[in-house]
A and B are shown apart, each in its own frame.
Chain A
């Protein structure tokens, strides 16, 4: 095996050539013969009763094929929520109906109120302007605390309140937890906001529904991270179609970051409308629509308290969080502030008592769901901010305080239901101190001060639960799906291989990394292996890509299927060499009989499988194709330590990131180049959250930052070159590759380091600032300095 191939090598990405030459095949690049276009008329008020809709004039406009309103979907199911959380009293979450098109009530700006299908997009848009409405406005419920007030207007009249659930996790005994705080030597309290974000993958969502009368089959092309999940949800819960009559294809997808996991109304609409209109129906989101129809992320308000004993050991942690659900429950919405958040509150520390309290709240805003990290960034942010604040209050070194409280023995059972199988937080912190050149900070600070700038250094640790997820555990916790994955390895007669994988790549480079694994196991050239993904018509099954799960879960399925292939191939080789299977070895694509010079090549065995003239037909079926489903035994636990160095301009409050260093433990690594890239991207998003991004609503429920003019996306000059190290590797103990996943770490681990660094800078300048809510815009920093 050449050393630029196989596990641990960084071959160039094979998908790059098509992307670099304009030959990618994104959903909007696809056009179906005879397709019509849909324009969705979206609510421009946050909360209103729909008295009537008159589409008669619009229907007469040129090119109009058909106009749909909520009444057309009265017989169709609503968009389902994939996770049922049980509250602190044992009751189910409140779960409102989530219609494809608003029926009698508008509940957020951007909700679909009518859909116009026409020959051209321009005609559809023009006709939509002729639709007449009568609405009665209702007060908009925007602020979470106000939404929970006794007399608050209800987002859903048929629910008892705006509370989705009130949940407790960890130690539910309030008195015991309070006793731990009462006996503490020191308690640090922090109230903070985890700012609401818009994922904004650069490719807006697109859906093309098509229906064949000849075969009674539907095809949906969609920008999805998980086409099989979309097919299942849409068929079983929304449209009531048999799955074998529906094919969902997610071709090249231009980024997702969670926002393309969920089943959206537009997908179901285009599928439904294709049959109703007798022709394919295409929808391409504008960026303006994306801001008000893609699920948003984060949006937590938290009070966190940390108790320490006289030796600075953490003795108890308690959090109270309100989490925004928006107007409806998106696919994974209810799992994010509960099981993807509460389970991570122990962090990297051996705090014996942890209590997490979460209230999820309905508001007249866009639904909120998973965004890169999903719950884990929210947990990490609170914990790493309160530890930093505690260090300052106690006059302790923030690194030493963390080190003192690290979990050091594995496996470790946390008080919040997880068992960390392996890790080495001391090693990643050692590595971070080196990569970040902690020793050189004082000199760099002096230099900045000479230039009239304040310089700050901030660190944080993080741990995440990835490789989502063991089906039996998540099932107990309310997941309405299994979270295994599947792979089929199809060996062709001439020895080349297609691997059908349930994971979906939308930037992660699976087309390069997955073949690295299979080729390495067999000892053949990577060019002989391709993967097939993103098409329910070609891939048997899969749960898709999110939660840093692709290599840990689907990759494990692929390994298992390849092991089956190798086992069968060895039997064929044994037959050809008249030896016993047990004596056959496979190395560099050659089967040999141990202790002899007999050998037969991979290609010959494959050919024999398909041309079985000399073949043990009584014992073995011809052919060489195997499938495996892999359900993980545990989550995986990537962890690490991050450091940020900022300069703050004391005159303007402008923060600039001067250095950012990351030391991660991802376990074993398939392709270091791609892992670096994943961390870089996460850091860019985390820095964006910390300094720039904010999805802000006004009190009427209008999204104020609803375009790239108003929503500050990180740009090239907002970020530095990053120092990224992943040489600390404690392999996962329960999956065959020893991998943990790396997709979300950067976004989870970076916001607290940035904020900690800014606080450090301000305090170094004599400002008594202990917290600023993200994003740390110049205005906010300046106000904090001068407040």
Chain B
């Protein structure tokens, strides 16, 4: 066991972990931040996406010890200070960008990372960026639409209400 310390959603967090403990396990099991989901064991699904020092990272691909001293942001820290949904979260709700909700934390975190680098992505750019985020429920239609809406684009002409 080794001690690891990092900042998670702006607060200091630390715990004892094994060398093999993944960041996703540390967040879920040690910190109780169960919004970061685990949907696979081959780094394919993206349900576990968090931000580490401002970059989108699949938390199942990183050891907790590798995040020593890092600034980690998870879905639990995304809402506005008053607790209301942030712009991206609100767009997902407004455009029905989620069904079972399991892929959703990873989708929102990926979308946030995309919009940071590319504030007005095209449909094709969004679909391309989401290559590493699987959703089995939505057929992606409303996820792509929500991200376009969150970036301030007019989505009213996109098919189906």
Contact = CB atoms under 8 A, between A and B. Distances in A.
Given A13-B96, A677-B138, A707-B42, A24 B101 contact: yes
Nearest to A435: B159
B75 interface: yes
A16 interface: yes
Interface string B32-71: 0111111111101101000000000000000000000000
Interface centre among B76, B98, B126, B139 (most CB of A within 10 A): B139
Given A20-B92, A715-B130, A506 B100 contact: yes
A255 interface: yes
Given A20-B85, A203-B39, A255 B136 contact: yes
B161 A672 contact: yes
Interface string A718-736: 0101111100000000000
A719 B140 contact: yes
A22 interface: yes
Interface in B121-148: 123-124, 126-128, 130-131, 133-145
Given A20-B85, A22-B35, A203-B100, A680 B138 contact: yes
Interface stretch (A402-410, A561-569, A581-589, A681-689): A681-689
Interface string A489-514: 00000000000000000111100000
A677 B142 contact: yes
A677 B139 CA distance: 8
B127 A717 contact: yes
Given A709-B44, A716-B143, A255 B131 contact: no
A55 to B, nearest CB: 25
Interface in A6-40: 10, 12-13, 15-24, 26, 28-29
A683 B142 CA distance: 13
Contacts of B36: 22
Contacts of B72: none
B76 A21 contact: yes
Contacts of B123: 721
B35 A24 contact: yes
B112 to A, nearest CB: 12
B136 A21 contact: no
Given A16-B92, A287-B40, A287-B41, A26 B102 contact: yes
A13 B93 CA distance: 7
A707 B20 CA distance: 22
B149 interface: no
Contacts of B101: 15-16, 18-20, 24, 252, 254, 507
A432 B97 CA distance: 25
Nearest to B25: A121
B128 to A, nearest CB: 6
Contact of B136 (A252, A683, A685, A724): A685
B1 interface: no
B75 A716 contact: no
A708 B139 contact: no
A717 B131 contact: yes
A288 interface: yes
A708 B103 CA distance: 15
B151 interface: no
Given A19-B104, A21-B75, A677-B142, A721 B158 contact: yes
A725 to B, nearest CB: 8
B160 interface: yes
Nearest to A505: B100
A354 interface: no
Interface residues of B, number: 60
**Interface size, A (range):** 35 or more
A12 B85 contact: no
A329 interface: no
A518 to B, nearest CB: 21
Interface in A183-241: 200-204
Contacts of B144: 716, 721
A682 B140 CA distance: 11
Contact of B100 (A254, A721, A722, A746): A254
B136 A257 contact: yes
Contacts of B38: 28, 204
Contacts of B41: 286-288, 707
A611 B34 CA distance: 43
A721 B141 CA distance: 5
A255 B44 contact: no
A509 B36 CA distance: 21
A642 B75 CA distance: 37
A781 interface: no
Interface string A734-765: 00000000000010000000000000000000
Contacts of B92: 16, 20
B85 A21 contact: yes
A253 interface: yes
Nearest to A120: B18
Interface of A: 10, 12-13, 15-24, 26, 28-29, 122, 200-204, 252-255, 257, 286-288, 506-509, 672-674, 676-677, 680-685, 687, 707-709, 713-717, 719, 721-725, 746
Interface of B: 18, 20, 28, 33-42, 44-45, 47, 74-76, 78-79, 85, 89, 92-94, 96, 98-105, 108, 123-124, 126-128, 130-131, 133-145, 158-161
8 contacts: A22-B34, A24-B102, A287-B41, A507-B101, A676-B160, A717-B130, A721-B158, A722-B160
Q: Which 8 A-B pairs have the closest CB atoms?
A: A22-B35, A19-B101, A684-B139, A254-B102, A507-B100, A507-B99, A708-B44, A22-B75
